[in-house]
Chain A
Amino acid sequence: MLDYATLRVIWWALLGTLLIGFAIMDGFDFGVAGLLKVLGRDNEERLVLLEGIEPTWEGNQVWFILAGGATFAAWPMLYAVSFSGMYLAIALVLLAFILRPVGFNFRGKIHDPRWASLWDWILTGSGFVVMLVAGVAFGNLFLGVPFQFDGDLRMSWHGGFFELLHPFALLCGLVSLSMLLAHGACWAGLKADHVIAARAVRIARWMTLLYAVLYVLAGVWVAYGLPGYAIAGPVVTDGASNPLYKQVAVGGSWFASYMQYPWFWSAPLLALVSAVGVQALIGRRSVAGFIASSLMVGSTIASAGFALFPFLLPSSLDPRSSLTVWDASSSHGTLQLMLIVTAVLLPIVMIYTSWVYRVMRGRVTLEQVRKAHGGGY
């Protein structure tokens, strides 16, 4: 049996993996949905874009469901505090997630331009909501959020929806938005008819540039404008999961963990190198361009997770209540069992997912869409 501290670090890494899996796999679905009206100038072009994501978006979305379920199982406090604390923001995301499955399925079921257009707007809107709120939520992790525990470990939250909209958090929202729009455009460059793909390449270039500028800006803000959190006193890595057993000091730097573990720098570095890679590759080799944008998405999330380590959710109201890797996990036995289950099942998931992508491979062309839909919606 692995020791408790090691399992906690593994589950921290797995949580990151699931979030990155979600951002890469479902991120391009959101990006394409967000660009639906820009890249697709008429119904046929939009059908090309939608059919490029339709066979696989549903499986991709399970990365998010699984990230939620795994957080519930491995980090129950993180799940409880974040979902209840950011109540209305989460409700907004939930609404987006409710409308997507029905949107994809219902859009083509009635042949009427107004009906199709309604669902196009709904899919676009739900894409924007998720991309923005995800970034804003991540930004708030660096700012700390206003919650505290009482002796029963019942959490109370002292703030509302609008408190989440701090300028830094909004900047993070824009980083997320530009990053995933670029990623979505890279997918369209790979999957859509050449007419649309050419448009997508231009958008991917601009969005990647915007992303890189905003990402560096956010990094500078974190370095010079935001106080970091650190565990004060002895760090107990294998104690009971009770946040109130520790003390926390505020005022250091979020880059402290980068100084402690210099290999953490590889993440932001890779993010920027990948952004350059997207610029260089997307026009000529669309598969390589998409791989570059996937790396960009993954390493951006990793760089944020590294900076926060060992914190998962810092509390600005009562820093002692902050959730960290060492005191917000499930019990030793649960982490152990869930690791075994994940080690067995996740590779199987990846195998059949790859098979599905292989079956559904190839560009969706305008000609195909015209033939299949015959001018319908």
Chain B
Amino acid sequence: MSLVADAFVSQIAAAEAWPENAALYQPLKGEQILLSDNASSLAVQAFLKMCNLPCQVICRANAEYMSPSGKVPFIHVGNQVVSELGPIVQFVKAKGHSLSDGLDEVQKAEMKAYMELVNNMLLTAELYIQWCDVATLEEITEPRYSSPFPWPLNYILAYQKRWEIQRKMKAIGWANKTLDQVFEDVDQCCQALSQRLGAQPYFFSKQPTELDSLVFGHLFTILTTQLTNDELREKVQNTETLIDFCRRIEHNYFEDHVKDTSTSDLLRLPKGPSMH
């Protein structure tokens, strides 16, 4: 979207208050959603809960194609449609809600750097494991991704997606990495996050920011998702501070809404939805 359109959208957005019927769209929870999409969706849900903005989670098999950017999740607020965490944070800010207003410029820059780290390392690693590791691809990713489509569309669309991700991996130089190298990257990323977190409850002391929601979305999903092997989960489990961090956010923002059908079954450590 152009800058002018961007500015226009945020101006319109500012004019209207957050409606009660805001909705977040994601793929079908039980049989379709993939680890990476679930992580991104959970990050946005956590962010909105931290902002104390109500949002209903709606599962649609065609959520990916409904999204203006082709990526899930996206939110439908009033007559606006915004996808992915970054633009959603901007959009919510235009409505007068922000988690990072209390930070100074240095802290903001640091927060952005860590968010980039999570997107570049954790998200890319999730995509790599889903689409480039043959065992995961055949056992989990392809059957789940193609579950809403009839034959032969299921093969065509899964192949298209696989090709797209593999091309992306080539472009960023991950195509030649081995699975072990990817796990090593995840491990380093977790170490870095754990060190930054230290003994604080959130990354920037007492108040959560969008970085906290992003880290929570990814780590929690990794911890609660059953893959073909447990190595990815073990990398996260090695860092005690991060597990505590996940428990804290779950406790503070999700547990009092356990009756909320959207997230209740997802968020009980250490058990979680099996991806098989």
- Decide whether A and B are members of one complex: no
- Interface residues of A, Cβ cutoff 8 Å to B: none
B residues with CB within 8 A of A: none
